[in-house]
Amino acid sequence: MRKILPLAGSIAVIGANSLVLSPIAGAVALSFPGIDAAGVMTAAAIYGLATAISALVLAPGIDRIGQRAALRRSLLVMMAALALSAAAPNLPVLCLAQALAGLAAGCALPAIYVLSAHVAEKGRESETLGLVLTGWTVSLVAGVSLSALIADFAHWRLVFAALALAAGWLAVAVHRSRELAVPTPATRPSSPLTALRVRGIAPALLTVAAYMAAFYGLYAYLGSHLTGALQLSTAAAGLAPMAYGLGFGIATFADRLLDRHGATAAAPVTFLGLGLVYVALAATSAHAAILIALCFAWGAANHIGLNLIVARLTALDPTQPGAIMGLYSTVTYLAASAGVFFYRPLFERFGLAGCAVASAGCIVPALATALIQRRRRPVSGTEGRKFIRFRLKNGG
């Protein structure tokens, strides 16, 4: 756990900052005369754009300086950006601070994913990565909820101040952790172009793009559907992301099954299950209680699917993991923006059901790739011997 906690904690801080502006935008706007909540969300958009640019341009440097050093420096920059956000006197300064936070996040996230693969014990790679990914659960369930309470009962500036302190503490923890001192694998300069030449990267990034557009496109309009079409209160609508986050976290217990049965066998089942969850969300979009309950299954399936995708990418080329995971983060944030943009006309015309059907369609590339990989998987010696014994035992 000493190896995993700084990584999961770093994801929690980054995730909390990326999600926190939405629920406290109204409170932030009160501190900036002439600015409304929608204007405050400009800072969130700038954060996402800066993260994508950083992951594309700066993340390949991780392969040169090492993952631990990159994560430590990113957390220090994140701490400064969050402190500047807490002290921002106006919206332009807040936007500048969030741009700086995005640059830090674009380097930190690839470093975290690569480190999780390095520190995992043999045979427990998926379980370790799953535990690291629970940082997203903490940011969604605890970070966002607590931030809203702090903004209501104290002040929104305390939210960013607390996150800044957490980022500073994590930077110290990463610096002191001997377990995270892994060798730098790069033997040649890496860049987005060298990463794009890696065999298998193109279909993997296509899967990432469709997968992330499916999630963010639907998630962006879930709250509007619950409070609008279904006329739930804001507090009741908050049960949906909470259920999603709990499902995402509890699915960690299933990650060890990935290590036991293998990603190749688990991927088709996982992506088929996720597609069926999207279909079920579309079919039950008019029933609030069922919809919220299905968000739990949605979170669990998304956790396992994300685990499979990240594990596949980190295994493509061990000599330039930073550049590859930088491409992953870039595609993720671009797909998130594209999902929100292209799902809007679907939501306006067909409601949440139309968005959920579109998301089910977006899972098809991931499912197709998983099925192709399973057909091409070579049979290991152990599997071959088991097959021969089975045939002999059954007369064949």
- At 80-100, the pLDDT tens digits run 999 999 999 999 999 999 999
As a whole number, mean pLDDT of residues 102-115 equals: 90
Q: In a 10 Å sphere around its CB, with 0-12 CB exposed, 13-18 middle and 19+ buried, how is residue 285 labelled?
A: buried
> In angstroms, rounded to a whole number, what is the distance separating the alpha carbons of residues 215 and 270?
15
Q: In the prediction, which pLDDT does 187 show?
A: 52
Q: Say yes or no to pLDDT of 396 above 80.
A: no
User: pLDDT band at residue 183, thresholds of 50, 70 and 90?
Assistant: low
> In angstroms, rounded to a whole number, what is the distance separating the alpha carbons of residues 252 and 242?
16
Q: Say yes or no to pLDDT of 188 above 70.
A: no
Using one digit for the tens of pLDDT, what is the confidence trace for 314-370? 788 877 877 888 888 889 888 888 888 888 889 889 999 999 999 999 999 889 888
Q: In a 10 Å sphere around its CB, with 0-12 CB exposed, 13-18 middle and 19+ buried, how is residue 289 labelled?
A: exposed
As a whole number, mean pLDDT of residues 94-118 equals: 90
Q: In the prediction, which pLDDT does 376 show?
A: 67
Q: Say yes or no to pLDDT of 275 above 60.
A: yes
3-state helix, strand, coil in the chain (%, to 5): 85, 0, 15
Q: Is residue 192 within 8 Å of 327, Cβ to Cβ?
A: yes
Q: Say yes or no to pLDDT of 381 above 60.
A: no
Q: What is the dihedral of CA 277, 353, 24, 98, to 10 degrees?
A: 80
Q: Say yes or no to pLDDT of 166 above 60.
A: yes
User: pLDDT band at residue 227, thresholds of 50, 70 and 90?
Assistant: confident
Q: Cβ of 236: how many Cβ atoms within 10 Å?
A: 14
Using one digit for the tens of pLDDT, what is the confidence trace for 1-13? 677 888 989 999 9
- C-alpha to C-alpha distances, 361 to 44, 200, 213, 302, 354, nearest whole angstrom: 28, 22, 11, 15, 11
pLDDT, greater one: 104 or 67: 104
